[in-house]
Amino acid sequence: MKILGISCGRRMGNTEILVKEALMGAQELGAEVEFIRLGDLNLKPCTGCNACVVNLFEKAGTGECVIKDDDFAFIDEKILECDGLILGSPIYEKSPSGQLKILNDRMGPSHDYAFRLIAKKIREEKNITTGKGPDERSFKIRAASLIAVGGSEWDNFALPMLHLFTLSWQMEVVDKFLVNWVALPGMVALKEDILKRARMSGRHVAETLMKPITEAKYIGEEGVCPICHSKLFEIRNSKDNYPVVCGICGVKGTLNVIDGKVKFEISEEEKSNSHVTLSGKFKHADELNNISLKPAPNAHELPQRLEKYRTYLTYSKPQR
């Protein structure tokens, strides 16, 4: 088994130390480990061109990105190679590193497990033999541990956004933990309890990979959402019977306080709509296909309507 560690922090910073400590734990159980510091890579932002999705569905391709002059292909291959992932990031303004969001955007719909399954099925049904199609390694369920490191309790979006990175890949998140009050570089190396926690996390990822993924167990702090352990929710003041939405898996329900504890209650039917389930992802794909990707009846008017925006103002750019 191969476990990849990705740190989104500075060289030899607290995040790197904890990710490496977790990898040491995994290595103790025989895992082959590798480490990447995201800051060493040149990653360009997604342009939203949808060429990767077109390549996947309409050209029977792999869903590859058209941006070739950066390091995206390198890290894409590394994740495809791995069986488990240790992902860590420092917390900047309550959330992970912006470079992780860039990587997450680049691994959007074209890397979605369900979307690639659909593309594979289309190839089989149409007996398409041209093009490579989705990489078969895409369909391996990986185990993941998430580590967020901050200098205070300004951390609300840290673990949720780290968790979002795993959604497209359909990774099984078996642990996530938050480390606070370690703002100075390297200081976490003096905290034996936190180092022990990180090593345990890496060992747990390795132990998970030694068994069928259906036996995977989550060992992190229990959240409020029973599906993804999220503590982040959106309250929608609507007439919907389920006005509360989980910020990670999107499942809808109601919040209640029972015996002094907040409980998020969801129906059995609603569980299948969760974004961490294949059924929820297939539903999302159907919605895209039948609603937002469906041409409007007056689409022929679009060029004329866009003209006033095309000619309105000029772009302000720095002089080179």
pLDDT, residue 128, reads 87
For the residues of the chain, what is the DSSP string, one character each? -EEEEEE-S-TTSHHHHHHHHHHHHHHHTT-EEEEEEGGGS--PPP----HHHHHHHTS-S----S--SSSHHHHHHHHHH-SEEEEEEE-BTTB--HHHHHHHHHTSGGG-HHHHHHHHHHHHHTT--SS--S-GGGGPPPEEEEEEE-SSS--TTHHHHHHHHHHTTT-EEEEEEEE-S--STTGGGG-HHHHHHHHHHHHHHHHHHTS-GGG----S---SSTTT----EEE--SS-S--EEETTT--EEEEEEETTEEEEE--HHHHTT-TTSHHHHHHHHHHIIIIITSPPTTGGGHHHHHHHHHSSS-------
pLDDT, residue 179, reads 97
Higher pLDDT, 59 or 230: 230
Specify which residues 92 forms β-bridges with: 95
- The pLDDT tens digits for 64-95 are 999 999 999 999 999 999 999 999 999 999 99
pLDDT, residue 108, reads 85
The tokens describing 194, both together, are: 């936190």
Residue 12 and residue 37 in one domain: yes
Q: Which of 129-133, 207-211, 266-270, 309-313 has the lowest mean pLDDT?
A: 129-133
Residue 233 and residue 211 in one domain: no
Rounded Cα distance, 198 and 149, in Å: 12
Residue 314 and residue 204 in one domain: no
Residue 19 and residue 68 in one domain: yes
Residue 228 and residue 244 in one domain: yes
For the cut 90, the answer to whether the pLDDT of residue 229 exceeds it is yes
Q: Residue 211: give its domain's CATH number.
A: 3.40.50.360
Residue 173 and residue 46 in one domain: yes
Residue 194 and residue 245 in one domain: no
Residue 190 and residue 144 in one domain: yes
- The pLDDT tens digits for 143-179 are 999 999 999 999 999 999 999 999 999 999 999 999 9
State how many domains the chain has.
Answer: 2
pLDDT, residue 204, reads 98
pLDDT, residue 149, reads 97
Structure confidence at residue 130 as a pLDDT band (50, 70, 90): confident
Residue 128 and residue 259 in one domain: no
Structure confidence at residue 21 as a pLDDT band (50, 70, 90): very high
Nearest CA to 4 out of 289, 187, 209 is that of: 209
Which residues form the domain of 54?
Answer: 2-219
Residue 297 and residue 155 in one domain: no
Residue 228 and residue 248 in one domain: yes
pLDDT, residue 72, reads 97
pLDDT, residue 157, reads 95
Rounded Cα distance, 318 and 35, in Å: 37
Rounded Cα distance, 87 and 107, in Å: 15
pLDDT, residue 126, reads 87
For the cut 90, the answer to whether the pLDDT of residue 320 exceeds it is no
Higher pLDDT, 294 or 17: 17
